[in-house]
């Protein structure tokens, strides 16, 4: 299953400049998701991080993982579009975050999310971010799907 940015926006409330997932290339419900964000010099964060030496902020990588994880949770739950429209994903914690290599303009940041545990509305996920198949960041994410 693939999703373009229009389909992503049907699930996530985020919009420019804070929508950090461009496309989903694979979803296995209740198991895993692969998606990506194209990092460009036009991203607003590069105005201040850092002028003359642009590095994509780690916190933005984590937020992209969280957004991808939210998509996985939503697509794994058996909901109609109408039911899903009344829900939102809140992140409860981000643990064991590590940054292994800088991400720069021109990179394609690939998010690989897998379910560690799921019970009811609570999801525990492992997030990994890659550039050219090289691990650049990882974290464990905990989220809850709630009513708006």
Task: Please say if 53 is a catalytic residue.
Answer: no
Domain that holds residue 16: 5-147
State how far the Cα of 76 lies from the Cα of 78, in Å rounded to an integer: 7
- Note the pLDDT tens digit of each residue in 39-78: 999 999 999 999 999 999 999 999 999 999 999 999 999 8
Q: How many domains does the chain have?
A: 1
Q: For the CA atoms of the chain, what is the radius of gyration?
A: 15
Kindly report the three-state secondary structure assignment for every residue of 102-120. Answer: CCCCCCEEEEEEEEEEEEC
Residue of 14, 49, 53, 118 with catalytic role:
49
- Note the pLDDT tens digit of each residue in 2-26: 999 999 999 899 999 999 999 999 9
Concatenated DSSP letters of 25-54? EEEETTTEEEEEEE--TTSGGGGTS-TTS-
User: What CATH number is attached to the domain comprising 30?
Assistant: 3.10.129.10
**pTM value surpassing 0.85:** yes
- Note the pLDDT tens digit of each residue in 81-127: 888 889 999 999 999 999 999 999 999 999 999 999 999 999 999 99
In a 10 Å sphere around its CB, with 0-12 CB exposed, 13-18 middle and 19+ buried, how is residue 2 labelled? Answer: exposed
């Amino acid at each position: 299953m693939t999703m373009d940015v229009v389909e992503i926006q049907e699930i996530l409330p985020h919009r420019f400049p804070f929508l950090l997932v461009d496309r989903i290339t694979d979803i296995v419900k209740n198991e895993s998701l692969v998606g990506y964000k194209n990092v460009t010099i036009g991203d607003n964060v590069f105005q201040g991080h850092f002028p003359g030496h642009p590095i994509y902020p780690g916190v933005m990588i984590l937020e992209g993982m969280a957004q991808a994880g939210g998509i996985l949770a939503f697509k794994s739950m058996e909901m109609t579009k109408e039911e899903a429209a009344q829900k939102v994903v809140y992140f409860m914690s981000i643990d064991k975050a590590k940054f292994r290599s800088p991400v720069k303009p021109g990179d394609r940041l690939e998010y690989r999310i897998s379910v560690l545990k799921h019970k009811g509305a609570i999801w525990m996920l492992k997030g990994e971010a890659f550039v050219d198949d090289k691990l650049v960041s990882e974290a464990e994410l905990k989220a809850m799907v709630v009513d708006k």
